[in-house]
Structure 1
Amino acid sequence: MKADPELMFECLMYINAHYFPVIALSEIAMLVAKYLSDKKDTPNLDQDAAVCLTRHVAELMKLVIFQIFKYSSRKLVTLFAILLTLLTVATVYYNMFLQHPILRLEIVLCCVTSLLMATEMLFGLWFLMPCYKKVEYF
């Protein structure tokens, strides 16, 4: 059985479209909770909010542009999505390793996001490889 990385990449983008609102609302709620908290000292909250906003804008731009241009220029929009995915991975890296303090829920959401982004990059790069040839089923 041959794999179809183009179809798999599109399925992952579809999953990401449904996962994105959940992660965005959760992270915004956690930022507000950190801001209002008296128990946790968050010295770089402005920087954390800027990184969070960057990630959400990049993900939203990736999803919208992929949806608009996926039929007209498939390879170019896939390359653009992979580049924006690299930006998302960098912001997740910041959340997991550089942000202080980090909540347990943030760690869980960052792990799930990392898995989704890694599989998106894997299938996107596989689709862009010059040796890839589309499998015709009918």
Structure 2
Amino acid sequence: MSENNCKMNTSLMFEVLLYLNSYYFGLFAVCELGMNLVKYVNFPDLYHFETDFGVLMSVCGIEILRIIIASRGNLSDNKWLIILAILLTIPSVVGVVYLMFLQGEVLRFEYIICSIQLGLCVIEIITGILCLFSCCKAPEYY
């Protein structure tokens, strides 16, 4: 009985984190798009603007796809969708690290929102792996 509770709790925790990240990522994307617009207007000599904007759009697409796949995989206990969502977290984290450290001009607010996004991704990876382990166990019949 305790294994069932453990499975339910990790699955629930993973779903709650995905739900939280879906709203936070919307805020993150709007703020990043706004800051890129401000940088484009105020810093006319940016030499990496196209690359920075391309990375931001890629992160947005990957993150939206990852949240949808992870939520569907978690709700249906499909371990392959959860694995795919965990693997899609890697390019998302790399893109956020690029936005945090390597883009042309980085604002202080970007450090804050990117670090929160990285923290959510790391926690989702951990809970996704825990949820995956509980999905892979063979059911016990009493």
TM-score of the two chains, using structure 2 as the length reference: 0.81
The one of 13, 22, 25 equivalent to 1:20 is 25
Q: Alignment identity in percent?
A: 32
Q: Does 1:115 align with 2:119?
A: yes
Separation (CA, whole Å) in 1 of partners of 2:84 and 2:123: 16
Quote the offset at 1:66 in angstroms: 3.4
The one of 50, 57, 62 equivalent to 2:61 is 57
Residues 57-136 of structure 1 correspond to what in structure 2 (within 5 A)?
57-129=61-133
Separation (CA, whole Å) in 1 of partners of 2:22 and 2:11: 17
C-alpha RMSD over aligned residues = 2.4
In structure 1, runs of 5+ residues without a counterpart are none
Separation (CA, whole Å) in 2 of partners of 1:75 and 1:30: 37
Quote the offset at 1:119 in angstroms: 0.2
- Given that 1:126 and 1:132 are in contact with CA atoms closer than 8 Å, whether structure 2 keeps it comes out as no
Separation (CA, whole Å) in 2 of partners of 1:58 and 1:71: 20
CA gap 1:64/1:130 in 2 versus in 1, 3 angstroms: closer
Deviations 1:13-48 (A, max 9, x none): 01011112111111111111111114x742101000
Name segments (4+ residues, structure 1) moved above 6 Å: none
CA gap 1:129/1:68 in 2 versus in 1, 3 angstroms: closer
Corresponding position of 1:6: 11
Query: How many residues were matched structurally?
Result: 133
Q: Which amino acid aligns with 1:79?
A: I
- Given that 1:23 and 1:109 are in contact with CA atoms closer than 8 Å, whether structure 2 keeps it comes out as yes
Report SS of the residue matched to 2:38.
Answer: helix
In structure 2, runs of 5+ residues without a counterpart are none
